Amino acid sequence: MPPPTPPQTPRRLSLSQQFLLVSFPVLLASTLVIGWWVGRQVEESVVHRIGGDTALYVDGFIAPHLEGLARDGRIGDADRRALEALVVDADWARRIVSLRIWRPDGVVLFSSDGEGVGQKLEIDEGLEAAAAGSIYAEISVRRGSRQTDHGQPLERMIETYTPIHTARRGHIGAIAEFYQMPDEIDREAGIAQRRSWLIVAAVMLATYLLLFLIVRRGSLTIVNQRNELREKLAQLTAMHAQNEALNARVRRAAEEAISINEALLQRVSADVHDGPSQDLGFALMQIKNLRDARSSPAPDVPPGMIPGGTAEAALPQDLDRISDAVQAAMRDLRAISADLELPELEPLSLAAVAARVVRDFEAKTQGAVPVTLEAPVDPDRPAPMRIKTTLYRLLQESLANVFRHARGSRCRVELRTDAAGIRLAVDDDGPGFDLPEAGARRRLGLSGMRQRVESQGGTFAVTSAPGQGTRIRVVLPLAAHGGAEGGMSTTDTTNATNATNTDEDGR
């Protein structure tokens, strides 16, 4: 049975394809809206132009027959008959379907169909605009009772209001309202709208194509960059996997090295303790027996002599010097044996590890160097074994340096934890030393401490000057840094003995 085919991941649309899908409806809607608005503007422009042209004719022919309005506010019979003749016979009147003349206060003075004469009707927007001196023209669409009440001949007409100026300069004596058929407007507006629609559509299409070309170019660039990033990501993923495998091998090697180093140190400690110490103890016992024999010599030995011909007067002094030397050698060997073996640090906190080193140091030196310990560390923050081991060896070596090179001075140890990890500071007010000279001589103690710290990903800094004491600053990250957890650093093989090195080159 073949394995099931994994589901296909849906293919994402490119930027240019998204632009095509999203921008086309937007541009189409924009084209329709702009085309409709331009068409309305064209239609209104044509309406105002035709209405304005006709209004000029109306004003020119009707105004002479309304001179009597200035005297009694009404049209005389002769003027009325003349107006009726104009409506029937004048050439310009053939374009007008209906004519009505108003007084500015809304009273109908004349109507071509005779309806509403003498009545005062409601003043609408057009009548109000004409009374203010403007020509008002619009496409009027009215149906039913609204059409009848307003006196509009047909449902859709061009309605125009124009002011009629009498002989008195600047005075509007009457207002002419007339209706025209919309055929001419429809024809001219249709032509203008079609042209405007073609122009708007052409501009929108050109804009759409131009934007598409720009977006497509950017889309191709993005696609190419995305493919390059995908290839680089695959390469980085492969390299990361290789690095992880190498790191795993390094960690395993470090763990093995740590185990071997600790086993070696423990074996050296046991060998030194069980070998030289036992031999020197046996030698001490033999010397003691020799002294005892000297106190009760054999009968055949002449007075003042012991076997081997040693002078009796020099024998006690020689034996005392030998005994003192052997005892000093035993003390040194036992001290080295104790220092080489790492104590049980796993259950101890960082503060307890520091306190253990200080306590051992004070016991060995009998308080020759007063040490002040400040360790405000977080008790709930776990520390790996490698950090505890490094802290133990650093403090051990630092205090040994203070004892060797700054005996009689005071020493201050400070241990803190923060976001960077743990911070260790060891300060003494001893004689100090010349840092450049120490660097040139490659002091084993300082170089070993620096190597130990940097192998854990930390930082190590020493400041000192003759007569100004010595300051050591160490930062150790608590996060794993290539070393193995639960044991000593791989530098312990070369640096472990530095903690108890009694040579003058220990700095």
Q: Token pair of 248, please?
A: 């795993």
Domain 15-188 fold is Beta-Lactamase (3.30.450)
> pLDDT for 191-240, tens place per residue?
877 887 788 888 888 888 888 888 888 888 888 898 999 999 999 999 99
CA 497 to CA 488: how far, in whole Å? Answer: 13
* pLDDT score recorded for residue 494: 39
Mapped onto helix, strand or coil, the DSSP state of residue 415 is strand
| Residue 213 CB contacts under 8 Å (≥ 6 apart), including other chains | none
Q: Where in the chain is the domain with CATH 3.30.450.20?
A: 15-188
* pLDDT score recorded for residue 128: 86
Tell me: pLDDT of 241 over 90: yes
Q: Token pair of 215, please?
A: 């977006």
Q: Token pair of 38, please?
A: 């331009």
Q: Token pair of 202, please?
A: 């052409």
* pLDDT score recorded for residue 235: 94
CA 467 to CA 464: how far, in whole Å? Answer: 9
**Amino acid present at 463:** T
Confidence of residue 498 (pLDDT cuts 50, 70, 90): very low
List the single range of 126-135, 147-156, 480-489 with lowest mean pLDDT: 480-489
**Amino acid present at 452:** R
DSSP line for 298-352: -TTSPTTB-TT--BTTTHHHHHHHHHHHHHHHHHHHHHHHHHHSPP--TT--HHH
Hunting for tokens 């132009």 — which residue is that?
A: 49
* pLDDT score recorded for residue 203: 86
291-318 average pLDDT score: 56
Maximum mean pLDDT: which of 11-20, 122-131, 307-316: 122-131
Assess contact for 162 and 61: CB atoms under 8 A.
Answer: no
For 344-507, give the CATH class. Answer: alpha beta
DSSP line for 75-126: --HHHHHHHHHHHHH-SGGGGEEEEEEE-TTSBEEEETT-TTTT-B----HH
Tell me: pLDDT of 471 over 80: yes
* pLDDT score recorded for residue 240: 93
Q: Where in the chain is the domain with CATH 3.30.565.10?
A: 344-507
* pLDDT score recorded for residue 325: 61
Confidence of residue 346 (pLDDT cuts 50, 70, 90): confident
Q: What is the percent of the chain with per-residue pLDDT over 90, rounded to a whole number?
A: 7
Mapped onto helix, strand or coil, the DSSP state of residue 410 is coil
* pLDDT score recorded for residue 493: 37
Confidence of residue 499 (pLDDT cuts 50, 70, 90): very low
Q: Token pair of 422, please?
A: 């743990």
Tell me: pLDDT of 407 over 60: yes
Phi and psi at residue 175, in whole multiples of 5°?
-130, 130
Confidence of residue 148 (pLDDT cuts 50, 70, 90): confident
CA 391 to CA 399: how far, in whole Å? Answer: 12
60-82 average pLDDT score: 73
Q: CA angle 323-326-331, nearest 5°?
A: 125
CA 291 to CA 270: how far, in whole Å? Answer: 31
Mapped onto helix, strand or coil, the DSSP state of residue 65 is helix
Kindly list the distances between the CA atom of residue 388 and the CA atoms of 6, 62, 338, 341, 394, in Å, as whole numbers in the listed order: 50, 115, 18, 15, 10
Confidence of residue 463 (pLDDT cuts 50, 70, 90): very high
451-474 average pLDDT score: 88
* pLDDT score recorded for residue 441: 63
* pLDDT score recorded for residue 279: 57
> pLDDT for 21-60, tens place per residue?
787 788 788 878 887 887 777 777 777 777 777 777 777 7
Hunting for tokens 């849906």 — which residue is that?
A: 10
Mean pLDDT (the chain, rounded): 75
151-171 average pLDDT score: 77
CA 336 to CA 342: how far, in whole Å? Answer: 12
Evaluate if pTM is beyond 0.75: no
Burial 434-457 (b: 16+ CB within 10 A, else e): eeeebeeeebbbbbbbbebbebbe
CA 408 to CA 69: how far, in whole Å? Answer: 130
* pLDDT score recorded for residue 304: 47
* pLDDT score recorded for residue 340: 63
Among candidate residues 354, 443, 431, 433, the one with its CA nearest the CA of residue 390 = 354
Q: Which has more pLDDT, 115 or 234?
A: 234
| Residue 460 CB neighbours (<10 A) | 20
Tell me: pLDDT of 475 over 90: yes
Among candidate residues 410, 417, 415, 391, the one with its CA nearest the CA of residue 470 = 410
Confidence of residue 461 (pLDDT cuts 50, 70, 90): very high
Hunting for tokens 């140890």 — which residue is that?
A: 413
Confidence of residue 496 (pLDDT cuts 50, 70, 90): very low
Tell me: pLDDT of 309 over 80: no
* pLDDT score recorded for residue 239: 93
* pLDDT score recorded for residue 29: 83
